[in-house]
Amino acid sequence: MASTTTNASVGTAEGLRIGNGSTDQRALDFSARLRRARLGLIVALVAVVMIFVSYSSAYVVRQGLPTLDPRTGTLVHDWLPLPLPSFLFLNTLVLLLSSLSMELARRQSSREAAAGWMTSGSGTSEERTDGMPWLGLTSILGLSFLAGQWLVWRELAARGFYVATVPSSSFFYLLTGVHGVHLLGGILALLAASAAALLRRPAASRAVLVDVTAWYWHFMTFLWVYILCLLEFAR
Amino acid sequence: MATREFAAHDAHVHAAPTSWIRKYVFSLDHKVIGIQYFFLALTAVFVGMFLSLLMRIHLIWPAAALPLLGEIKPETYLTLLTMHGTIMVFFVLTTAPQGGFGNYFLPIQIGAPDMAFPVLNMLSFWVTALAFVVMLSAFFVVGGAPLHGWTGYPPLSALPAAGPGEALGADLWVISIALFCLGALMSALNFITTTLDMRAKGMTLMRMPLTCWAWFITAILGLLAFGVLLSAGILLLLDRNAGTSFFVPLVTINGQLTGHRGGSPLLWQHLFWFFGHPEVYIAILPAMGLCSQLLSVFSRKPIFGYKAMVYAMLSIGFLGFMVWGHHMFMSGMSPYTAFAFSVMTMAIGVPSAIKTFNWLGTIWKGRIRFTSPMLFALGFVSLFISGGISGPFLAQPVLDIQLHDTYFVVGHFHLIMGVASIFGIFAATYYWFPKMFGRMMNEGMARWHFFITLIGTYAIFMPMHYLGMAAHLRRYSQLTELKYLHGLVPLQEFMTYAAFVTIAGQFLFLFNLFWSMKFGEKATDNPWEATTLEWTTATPPPHDNFGGHIPVVYNGPYEYSVPGAPRDFIMQTDPAILKAH
C-alpha cells in the first residue's frame, strides 16, 4: 500500500502557513465558499427528496389498498379522487413568478459581489447598485403563495374535505403542508439575506446566501409542480 | 485583498471562544460537540442498560418486588423492552460512533480546521439532546412510556387507546424519533460536505483512513434513511392525532370502532424498515472502519486490501437499501418478493466476508501489540463473525418463519448490531482517549473490562440462539406461566447472572474513564505510534486542530513496517517516504 504518487508539486514545507498574520483564520475565496454552500445545499436537497419519495410511494400504495366495508363485509376501495380547487393553479403561477424574481435577485447579488471586490477591494455592500428589490419581491410572492395555499385549504374545508375525511384529502393536506413548511424555510433565508444587506454585511457573504437560497427556491418550485402533477394526474 | 476581506467574515472559521457557555455548552468546535455527543451516548447507554437489567430480573423473578419500582407488570416489561431498544439503537449506537468520534476525528483525520457548517453541527447535537430528553420524559407522563417496541408497528403504536403508555407516552416517543431524525440529517449533511470539500492538500479520497470512509458512507446512509423515518413518523403522528388512516385499518378496541379505516400497517413496515435496515449499517460501519484502523496500527502492518475495504463498505451500504423486506417475511409477502429480498440479503455476505478476511490478513504475521484498543478490535471481529453468521440463516424465508419472533433473532442482532458496535465504541474510547483528554486510560482496568465484557456478552447472547431454536418466543414477559418453556428457565437464569457480571464490568469502564481523566498517565502526542493526522497535532488538539497550519499529506494512512524507512511507521504528513522508495 505504499503510495508514492507524485507529490513533488505540493511543496516541501511541513504544512502550509495560512491566513495573513492572523493564523486562526483561513482564507477561502468566494468561489470556494460558494462551492461548499452549494454542495451542502445539494446534500440537503437529497434529504428533502427522500421525504417526498416516501410520501409519493405511500400515496401510490394507499391509493391501491382495499378496505373492509363493515356493512357488507366486502372489500372496497375507499380512495375518492379529490377535485382540486382551481385557485391552486393561480398559486402555481405566483410561485413560478417568484422563482423568476428569485433568479433576478441571485444574478443581481452576484454582480454586486463581483463589483464590490473589483472596484475597491473592500467588498462591503456600500457599493451595491440601486436596482429592483428582487429579494423583497420574491419574499412577497412567496408569502402570497403560502396565503393562497391557506385559502385553498379553507376552500376544501368549506366543501367538507378535512384532513381525515378521505385518504386523498389527508394526502392533499400532508403534501401541501410539508411543501409549505419547506417554502417557509426559504422565506426565512430570504429575510436573513435582506437583513444581511441592511446590516451591511459584505456583499460576497450575502451573495453566497442569496445563491443557495435561490437554488433552494427553484427546487421548491420544481417540487411544487411535481406535487401538483401527482395530485392532478394520479388522482 | 478581497480574499482577506472574506476571511474576516468567513462563517466557517471561528475564533476560540472565551466564555464558558460558548466554550462548553453552545460550542461550535467539532471537538467539543463530539465530546458532548459522547457523553450523551454514555448517559443513554447506562439508562438503556438499566432497563435491560430490569427485564432480565423480571424474566426469572417475575413476582419480585424491586426497591422503589415495586413489582414489574407484564405491560411494564413491554415498556422496558421498547425504551431499551429505542434508546440503545438511536441514542447509543447511532450517536456515539458517528456523532461522537466521527465529529471529533473526521475533521482532524482529513486535515480540516472544523466541520463545514459549525453552527449546523451545534444545532444537530442540541436537537439530538432534546430528542433524548423528550424520549425520557415519556416515562413520567400519565400512562408511562409506550409499549409498541422500538419498531413501533401500528395499529398498536397508532391508537392511543391500545394500551397503557400508548397515549401521551407514544406521542412523545414519535416526536423524539422525529427530532432525532432532524438532528441526524443535519449531521449527515455536515459529514458529507466536510469529507468532500475540506480535505487537506494531498488527502485524496483513497488516502483517507478507513475510519473516514466509514463515517462518510454512514453519513450517506443516514441522509437517505432518516428522511424516510421522519416522513413515516409524521404520518404516524397524523394517524394518532388528526384521525387520518395512513397506517390504521378498520379495527375495533373492546368492540368499539376506532373511526380509522383503510390504512395499512404494512405501509409503516415498509417505510420503517427502509430506514431500519440501513440503520443497522449506520450503527456498525463506523466500528468496521475503526477496527480496520486499529488492526493495522497494532499489527504494525498496512491494512490488507485498502481498496477492497472501501469498495466492500460501499457495497454493504448500497445493498443495505435493497434488503428491508427480510424483516417482513412474516407479513404475508409474496414468496417471489421474499426470494428477491433473500438473495440480496445473502449477497451482503460477500462484502462482509471480504472485510473479515482482510482483517485476518492484516493481523496475519503481524507484530501484534495487545493493547486495550486492539483487544476490543479483535473482540469486534469475533463478534462480527459469530453475530453475522446467523444472518444467512435468517435470510432464508423458510427458516425465518420458524425463527422470526424467537430469541434467535434477539441473539443475532444483539451480537452483531449491539455488542459488536459497542465493542467498536469501547475500542474508539481506549484508542482516542489520550488524544481527547491528554491522558492514558488505565490499561489494567481496561483488560479486566475487556475480558468481563467479551465473556459476559457471549454468555448472555449465545444461549439466546438455543432458546430461539427451541421456539422460545421473544417479548414474552413471563416464563413461569407457559409449560413448554419450563425446561428453558435454567438457561434464562444463567443469562441473567451473566448480565449481572457484565453490567458490573461496565462500571469498571465508567470508573476508569473518569479516574483516567484526572489521574491517568500523561499522554504523548502519538502514544500508539500511528500514522494518521490526529497524531501529528498537539494533545489535546488546539482550537483549530493544527495550530494555524493546514497539514499537507504525502502518504496513505497505513504505512507500517515500510522497508528502508527509519521507523516502523511513516506519518501521513511525512515526505520521507519519497526518498525511501
Task: Give the model confidence (pLDDT) of A68-99 as tens digits.
Answer: 787 888 888 888 889 899 999 999 999 999 99
Split at pLDDT 50, 70, 90, the class of B5 is very low
Mean pLDDT of A202-231: 93
* Residue A119 pLDDT: 54
pTM of the model: 0.92
User: Is residue A26 predicted with pLDDT exceeding 80?
Assistant: no
In angstroms, the separation between the Cα of residue B416 and the nearest Cα of chain A is 28
Q: Which range has the worst mean pLDDT, A121-125, B252-256, B496-500?
A: A121-125
Domains of chain B: which residue ranges? 32-263, 280-519, 531-581
What interface predicted TM-score (ipTM) does this complex get? 0.91
**CB of B313 closer than 8 Å to CB of B214:** yes
In angstroms, the separation between the Cα of residue B286 and the nearest Cα of chain A is 20
- For helices B210-241 and B306-320, angle between their N-to-C axes, nearest 10 degrees: 10
Split at pLDDT 50, 70, 90, the class of B218 is very high
Positive or negative CA dihedral for B328, B329, B335, B339?
Answer: positive
User: Is residue A126 predicted with pLDDT exceeding 50?
Assistant: no
pLDDT digits (tens, 9 = 90+) for B365-419: 999 999 999 999 999 999 999 999 999 999 999 999 999 999 999 999 999 999 9
More confident residue, B5 or B358: B358
Interface of A with B in 163-192 (CB under 8 A): 163-164, 167, 170, 174, 178
* Residue B8 pLDDT: 35
Shortest CB distance from B242 goes to which of A13, A43, A163?
A163
Interface of A with B in 86-145 (CB under 8 A): 116-117, 121-124
CA nearest to B272 within chain A:
A54
Shortest CB distance from B1 goes to which of A121, A164, A204?
A121
Percent of chain B with pLDDT over 70: 97
In angstroms, the separation between the Cα of residue A178 and the nearest Cα of chain B is 10
More confident residue, B29 or A129: B29
Residue B93 burial (CB < 10 Å; 0-12/13-18/19+)?
A: buried
Q: Would B32-263 and B280-519 be classified into the same CATH topology?
A: yes
Mean pLDDT of B422-437: 97
User: Is residue B580 predicted with pLDDT exceeding 60?
Assistant: no
A34 touches chain B (CB under 8 A): no
CA nearest to B241 within chain A:
A164
Architecture in CATH of A30-233 = Up-down Bundle (1.20)
* Residue B577 pLDDT: 56
A71 touches chain B (CB under 8 A): no
User: Is residue A178 predicted with pLDDT exceeding 70?
Assistant: yes
* CA distance linking residue A185 with residue B206, whole number of Å: 37
Split at pLDDT 50, 70, 90, the class of A101 is very high
Mean pLDDT of A158-181: 95
Split at pLDDT 50, 70, 90, the class of B19 is confident
CA nearest to B197 within chain A:
A36
* Residue A109 pLDDT: 86
Interface of A with B in 189-228 (CB under 8 A): 201-202, 204-205
Contacts of A209 in chain B (CB under 8 A): none
B12 touches chain A (CB under 8 A): yes
Q: Which one, of B95, B98, B88, lies nearest residue B150 by Cα? A: B88
The mean predicted confidence, pLDDT, of chain B is 93
User: Is residue B316 predicted with pLDDT exceeding 70?
Assistant: yes
* Residue B478 pLDDT: 81
**CB of B294 closer than 8 Å to CB of B377:** yes
Split at pLDDT 50, 70, 90, the class of A130 is low
Give φ, ψ of A178 to 5 degrees.
-65, -40
Secondary structure of chain A as H, E, C letters: CCCCCCCHHHCCCCEEECCCCCCCCCCCCHHHHHHHHHHHHHHHHHHHHHHHHHHHHHHHHHHHCEEEECCCCEEEECCCCCCCCCHHHHHHHHHHHHHHHHHHHHHHHHHHHHHHHHHCCCCCHHHCCCCCCHHHHHHHHHHHHHHHHHHHHHHHHHCCCCCCCCHHHHHHHHHHHHHHHHHHHHHHHHHHHHHHHHCCCCHHHHHHHHHHHHHHHHHHHHHHHHHHHHHHHCC
* CATH class of the domain defined by B32-263: mainly alpha
* Residue B253 pLDDT: 86
pLDDT digits (tens, 9 = 90+) for B105-133: 999 999 999 999 999 999 999 999 999 99
In angstroms, the separation between the Cα of residue B57 and the nearest Cα of chain A is 41
- The amino acid at residue A140 is I
CA dist A171 to A218, B348, B360, B562, Å? 23, 36, 52, 62
* Residue B167 pLDDT: 93
Contacts of B271 in chain A (CB under 8 A): 54, 58
Cβ within 8 Å, pair B7-A44: no
B202 touches chain A (CB under 8 A): yes
Mean pLDDT of B246-275: 91
* Residue B251 pLDDT: 86
* Residue A195 pLDDT: 86
| CB proximity list for B289: less than 8 A, separation 6 or greater | B209, B210, B211, B212, B213, B214, B215, B313
Contacts of B242 in chain A (CB under 8 A): 163-164, 170
In angstroms, the separation between the Cα of residue A37 and the nearest Cα of chain B is 9
Interface of B with A in 505-544 (CB under 8 A): 543-544
Cβ within 8 Å, pair B556-A1: yes
In angstroms, the separation between the Cα of residue A140 and the nearest Cα of chain B is 27
Partners of residue B253 on adjacent β-strands: B256
Contacts of B262 in chain A (CB under 8 A): 62, 65, 67, 78-79, 167
**According to CATH, what is the number of the domain B280-519?**
1.20.210.10
Give φ, ψ of B272 to 5 degrees.
-65, -45
